[in-house]
């Protein structure tokens, strides 16, 4: 059984994007609302939310997220406040989608979506090598089950 963990670069990328959006929102509030007290309270509220998300929620989310792949199935474990477990048998995979971003080897934003009968399993923030490794496992299983997998990386 192979265990895959999310790429820590993904957490850094999410932190940077979240912080940038918060700074932009503060400047928009300051520009459109001339009352200094409202701007101060809004900034304080956004700073509180940022601290919670950036330093508490995201680290807990990335620490709890892991994927286990065996010959037969892949299992996703995750959840910060409510723990979840999802599993998919490779024989039920109809098709896959790989989502990568520019410079994904630096940002850690690589996603693999397994589409199965009646649903999907999203494998988030994987390293590029881990995505290819999982696709190889599915592909070996798919040869006997006539499942075609198209990968664009």
pLDDT confidence band for 153 (50 / 70 / 90) = very low
Whole-Å CA distances, 122 to 50, 68, 87, 119, 146: 26, 13, 11, 10, 22
Residue 33 sits in a domain whose CATH number is: 2.30.29.30
What pTM was computed for the model? 0.81
At residue 15, the pLDDT reads: 95
At residue 146, the pLDDT reads: 39
Q: Encode pLDDT of 22-62 as tens digits.
A: 999 999 998 998 888 988 999 999 999 999 999 999 999 99
Mean pLDDT score of the chain: 89
In the chain, the number of structural domains is 1
* Cβ neighbourhood burial of 139 (10 Å; 0-12, 13-18, 19+): middle
Q: Which of 21-25, 31-35, 109-113, 127-131 has the least mean pLDDT?
A: 31-35
If one counts every other C-beta atom within 10 angstroms of the C-beta of residue 151, the result is 13
Give the domain range for residue 66: 1-153
């Amino acid at each position: 059984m192979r265990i895959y963990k999310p790429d820590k670069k993904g957490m850094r990328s999410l932190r940077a994007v979240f912080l940038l959006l918060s700074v932009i929102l503060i400047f928009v509030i300051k520009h459109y609302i001339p009352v200094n007290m409202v701007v101060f309270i809004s900034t304080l509220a956004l700073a509180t939310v940022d601290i919670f998300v950036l330093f508490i929620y995201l680290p807990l989310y990335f620490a709890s997220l892991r994927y286990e792949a065996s010959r037969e199935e892949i299992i996703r474990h995750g959840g910060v406040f409510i723990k979840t477990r999802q599993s998919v048998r490779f024989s039920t995979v109809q098709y896959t989608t790989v989502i990568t971003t520019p410079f994904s080897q630096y940002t850690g934003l690589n996603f693999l979506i397994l589409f199965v009968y009646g649903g999907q399993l999203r494998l988030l923030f994987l390293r590029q090598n881990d995505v290819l490794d999982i696709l190889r496992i599915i592909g070996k299983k798919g040869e006997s089950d006539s499942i075609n997998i198209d990968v664009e990386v």
